[in-house]
């Protein structure tokens, strides 16, 4: 080791008060998922839209673009929530036999809200786990000659 300490970026608290803030613990993945917290500093800056991540955390500077959550959660959540909705729709049909417009009125918004809400939770939890475990893209080992 060279003994050189890498430079640390100053935070907003340091620039305003001149004091270093107390070390904040890394938030739990469930907290990140439920509240949209930054996986490093815990500020509510993870999402820029309903399910879109911000490019960088304005509070601590964490580059969120380097994490790759992918489209896996969307496919699984659509299948899982679709199954739950179908069970509810079939149960409603067998017990009350309402007209089709009642099904459209009930199940369309429940499906949309359920999938978008669950997608936000799943993406937040996955990015938190990716940060916490320092997960990176897999690499194949080169064979030795």
If the chain, 145 residues long, is cut into consecutive pieces of 10 residues, what is the mean pLDDT of each piece? 45 44 76 92 91 90 88 89 96 96 96 94 92 81 74
| Among 24, 21, 19, 48, residue whose Cα is nearest residue 36 | 48
What per-residue confidence (pLDDT) applies to 106?
96
Q: Tokens in use for 5? A: 């300490």
* Angle made by CA atoms 132, 134, 140, in degrees to the nearest 5: 150
Q: Which segments of the chain does DSSP mark as H helices, in order? A: 12-17, 29-35, 72-96, 100-132
What was the pLDDT predicted at 81?
Answer: 96
Residues 32 and 24: their CA atoms lie apart, in Å, by 14
Question: Residue 20's pLDDT is what?
Answer: 47
CB–CB of 33/121 below 8 Å?
yes
How high is the pLDDT of residue 5?
41
Q: Give CA–CA dist 23/32, Å, rounded.
A: 18
CA-to-CA distance for 84 and 97, rounded, in angstroms? 18
d(CA 38, CA 120): 14
Nearest to 77 by CA among 36, 119, 128, 124: 119
Backbone angles phi, psi at 51, to 5 degrees: -130, 10
């Amino acid at each position: 080791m060279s003994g050189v300490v890498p430079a640390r970026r100053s935070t907003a608290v340091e620039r305003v008060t001149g004091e270093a803030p107390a070390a904040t613990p890394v938030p739990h993945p469930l907290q990140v998922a439920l509240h949209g917290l930054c996986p490093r500093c815990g500020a509510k800056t993870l999402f820029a839209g309903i399910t879109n991540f911000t490019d960088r955390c304005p509070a601590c500077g964490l580059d969120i673009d380097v994490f790759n959550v992918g489209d896996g959660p969307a496919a699984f959540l659509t299948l899982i929530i679709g199954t739950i909705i179908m069970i509810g729709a079939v149960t409603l049909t067998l017990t009350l036999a309402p007209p089709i417009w009642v099904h459209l009125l009930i199940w369309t918004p429940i499906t949309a809200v359920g999938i978008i809400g669950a997608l936000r939770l799943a993406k937040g939890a996955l990015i938190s786990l990716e940060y916490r475990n320092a997960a990176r893209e897999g690499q194949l080992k080169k064979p030795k000659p």
